[in-house]
Amino acid sequence: MWFWHLVVDYPACSVILCRFCLFYVLSTGSRYISKAAAKAQLDYDYDGPLMKTTVPGPRSQNVGAVNFFCNYDDSRGNYLVDVDGNRMLDLYTQISSIPIGYNHPALLKLMANPNNLSTFVNRPALGILPPENFPDKITESLISVAPSGMTRVQTMACGSCSNENAFKSMFIWYRNKERGHNSPSEEDLSTCMINQAPGCPDLSILSFMGGFHGRTMGCLATTHSKIIHKLDVPSFDWPIAPFPRLQYPLEEFTRENAQEEARCLEEVEDLIVKWRQKGRPVAGIVIEPIQAEGGDNHASPDFFRKLRGIARKHGCAFHADEVQTGGGSTGKFWAHEHWGMEDPADIVSFSKKLLSGGYFYRDELQPYRIFNTWMGDPSKNLFLAEVLNVIRRENLLEEVARSGKALLDGLYDLQAQFPGLLSRARGQGTFCAVDVCDAATRDRILLQTRDKGVILGGCGESSIRFRPALIFRDYHVHLFLNIFSDVLAHNK
């Protein structure tokens, strides 16, 4: 009975005793309540942080590499609750992977639909035995947000598998192009079984210093963000280009930044030529629209347009890795839409906020031969379809643009107020970042902010990254800025 009430009637249950409602009542009685007007709030959100202990608290003992243990039952909306009852405004959202907050009523309701039961209980081998309606379901979900110029998608279980298989698609496409037809030679067939060329060809993927594309061995050969990811793991001799290092504020460094981007593009072309001469032609170029793990490094739309042109000129596939940037947090569903191109990429990979993984691809990169047992998970697609409904119904991309602007304006103010601490505030939508003077100070600020009830993430050398859910609103921004400002004042 209690359960049935909870998942079916949830949004209207504020006077009935249930776990979530009870906490709502508790929270409004708390002395840590925020100043934001109650009417402005999401009815499924808490109204502010509530800290009972430092974090990790006593119940998160022996955490090791773990930050702290969480109470996901009690977490709601923008707020993550830990096992000590500390309730924190979450601007990191499980490494940017929670699209519409915790325990969103629409997702809870979905689980009460009996038609969805068998999708959770019977995970199919999607590549050979898909559910009856799966093509329609994919059309409703992923195809409804397909990047411009793309009508095909390959689902996968996680971000690394998505990029691994995207790379394979590019290699197969490139070799078919080299052969001019689809029939491999006898030598191709015999050598591939023993890992030797030409069957396993000496092709490469060009990536960028500071990039992150995952940690499986193919992905890892294109990842260059942190030593800890790469040390001791064998890799491929693939070319690595510099990613532009822009100077901020952008409007003061127009000429310098244009020169920097031109330098990087020139290096890309040099590497493509050099690797072709080495006998390891570049089959594809992989790049994040914003380098995330590597420090929230941005480049201009002009840079990406020119890079795409270079890929086309040299016959390389162009792969936009939107695993972290995709899903709406830049204010557009795909970050590469900001480039303003009709035909920006051959492959767009995704995961995280899309709840499982995969990649969109252009027709000629057809994925016959891309296969594994599960190839994704229809139960995650169920959630995704509902997430997309919520995004559309609640105009969340507009909300993101609005709250993102408030967040970035706030960061500009704070870096003006604390010039010795903060610099290079930057962002698109709520996908924002700011640099701290050094790594030790950054790490200290992250912990102090957390102890005051706000979870942030670090990235790059000494950056703080902001990755709130798409339901992050203006008043959450102000709540955060008040707390962050206090912490910065203590670190002046």
Which listed residue (202, 269, 302, 474) binds a copy of itself by CB under 8 A?
A: 202
* 73 near a copy of itself (CB under 8 A): yes
Cβ distance to a copy of itself smaller for residue 221 or 414: 221
Longest CA span, the chain: 76
Complete DSSP assignment for 238-292: --EEPPP---SSGGG-HHHHHHHHHHHHHHHHHHHHHHHHTT--EEEEEE-SSBT
End-to-end, the C-alpha distance of the chain in Å comes to: 54
56 binds a copy of itself (CB under 8 A): no
How many amino acids of this chain bind a copy of itself (CB under 8 A)?
109
Between 64 and 420, whose beta carbon lies closer to a copy of itself? Answer: 64
Among 21, 26, 36, 69, binds a copy of itself (CB under 8 A): 69
Instruction: For the chain, state the CA radius of gyration.
Output: 24
3 is catalytic: no
Write the CA distances from 436 to 425, 432, 439, integer angstroms: 10, 13, 7
- 136 labelled catalytic: no
Q: Which stretch binds a copy of itself (CB under 8 A): 126-134, 243-251, 396-404, 428-436?
A: 126-134
Subset of residues 161 to 190 that bind a copy of itself, contact rule: CB under 8 A:
161, 164-165, 167-168, 171-172, 174-176, 184, 188-189
Question: Among residues 19 and 312, whose Cβ is nearest to a copy of itself?
Answer: 19
CB of 348 to a copy of itself, least distance (A): 18
132 part of the interface to a copy of itself, by CB under 8 A: yes
One residue of 16, 247, 364, 371 binding a copy of itself per CB under 8 A: 371
User: Which is nearer to a copy of itself, 214 or 328 (by Cβ)?
Assistant: 214
d(CA 153, CA 155): 6
Rounded Cα distance, 232 and 242, in Å? 23
| Beta bridge partner(s), residue 1 | none
3-class secondary-structure state, position 102:
strand
Q: Does 117 bind a copy of itself (CB under 8 A)?
A: yes
- Minimum distance between the CB of residue 179 and a copy of itself, rounded to whole angstroms? 9
- For a copy of itself, the binding residue among 21, 33, 146, 209 (CB under 8 A) is 209
**Residue 217 contacts a copy of itself per CB under 8 A:** yes
With respect to a copy of itself, which residue has the nearer C-beta, 155 or 300?
A: 155
d(CA 438, CA 427): 20
Least distance to a copy of itself from the beta carbon of 309, Å?
A: 26
Q: Which residue's CB is nearer to a copy of itself, number 237 or number 343?
A: 237
Residues 6+ positions from 303 with CB-CB distance below 8 Å: 244, 261, 264, 265
C-alpha torsion sign, points 273, 278, 281, 286: negative
Is residue 214 close enough to count as binding a copy of itself by CB under 8 A?
A: yes
Residues 468, 463, 207, 214, CA torsion sign: negative
Are the C-beta atoms of residues 43 and 11 closer than 8 Å to each other? yes
Considering only residues 150, 311, 347, 355, which one is a binding residue for a copy of itself as defined by CB under 8 A? 355
3-state secondary structure of 18: coil
Instruction: Decide: is 21 part of the binding site for a copy of itself (CB under 8 A).
Output: no
- Smallest gap, in angstroms, from Cβ of residue 124 to a copy of itself? 6
Which residue, 200 or 401, is less far from a copy of itself as judged by CB? 200
Query: Is 321 an active-site residue?
Result: yes
Known active-site residue 373:
yes
Per the residue annotation, which of 321, 346, 377, 435 is the catalytic one?
321
DSSP string, 295-342: T-B---HHHHHHHHHHHHHTT-EEEEE-TTT-SSTTSSSSGGGGG--S
Using the rule CB under 8 A, is 389 a contact of a copy of itself?
no
Site for a copy of itself in 231-260 (CB under 8 A): 231-238, 240
Rounded CA-CA distance 418/199 in Å is 58
DSSP string computed for 419-476? TTTEEEEEEETTEEEEEESSHHHHHHHHHHHHHTTEE-EEETTTEEEE---TT--HHH
Binding residue for a copy of itself, selected from 27, 41, 75, 297, defined by CB under 8 A: 75
Residues labelled catalytic: 212, 321, 352, 373
